[in-house]
Amino acid sequence: MNDEVYVIGAGGHAKVVISSLQAQGVPVGGVFDDDAGKWGSRVLGALVLGGVDAALDYKNIGRFVLAIGDNIRRMELAELLAELSWVTVVHPAAYVDSSVQLGPGTVVFAGAVVQPETKIGRHCIVNTGATVDHDCEIGDYAHLAPGSHLAGGVVVGSRAMLGIGVSVLPGMHIGEQAVVGAGSVVTNDVGAGDTVVGVPAKPLQE
């Protein structure tokens, strides 16, 4: 197995993943995407080699990272391609305390801060400029969008999505697959599957 990392997904999110790998000095072996129109094109210089299934042909050659912003689709692909070796990507301009636990496939982008004793699961996204304070727990496949901020002791369930600029007060619990709208301030726990918006964040009325 060589040092190359292969990226699954060729959209805008992939550009940030590839940029983070390049900033680390990690060679990008290629990209896989099911959009046949992208095959043979390049994303920040990385060649799109073919569809997602073709990634399995490279499983003994390099390591992989999912560059898929949608939480559910990212989970589906992680399960479909479970035999691949997943790499964790941390941009050199991010700060991650040495006591932090990062699951395989998780990405931490430029300007992000992750403070002591935090645990982040598999295939999570800690996006540009997001901050996670001490003793937080982030479940698998969760996404913290750019500029979101978690105070200490926050628990975020698997597949939850926190929008751009969200703030979460200390000790709050955000349930699995919950959605917190951009700019919201979470002052109370959020139930599994709930969508909340506003300041303070309240359930979205149907």
| 134 part of the active site | yes
Q: Report the C-alpha gap between 61 and 181 in whole angstroms.
A: 40
Specify whether the CB–CB gap between 103 and 140 falls below 8 A: yes
The catalytic position among 13, 91, 123, 134 is 134
In sequence order, the 6+-apart residues with CB closer than 8 A to the CB of 136 are: 115, 118, 119, 150, 152, 153, 154, 155, 156
Which secondary structure element, helix H or strand E, spans residue 121, and what is its range?
none
Q: Report the C-alpha gap between 151 and 147 in whole angstroms.
A: 13
Strands 161-162 and 143-144: parallel
Would you call 73 helix, strand, or coil by DSSP?
helix
> Which amino acids are annotated catalytic?
134
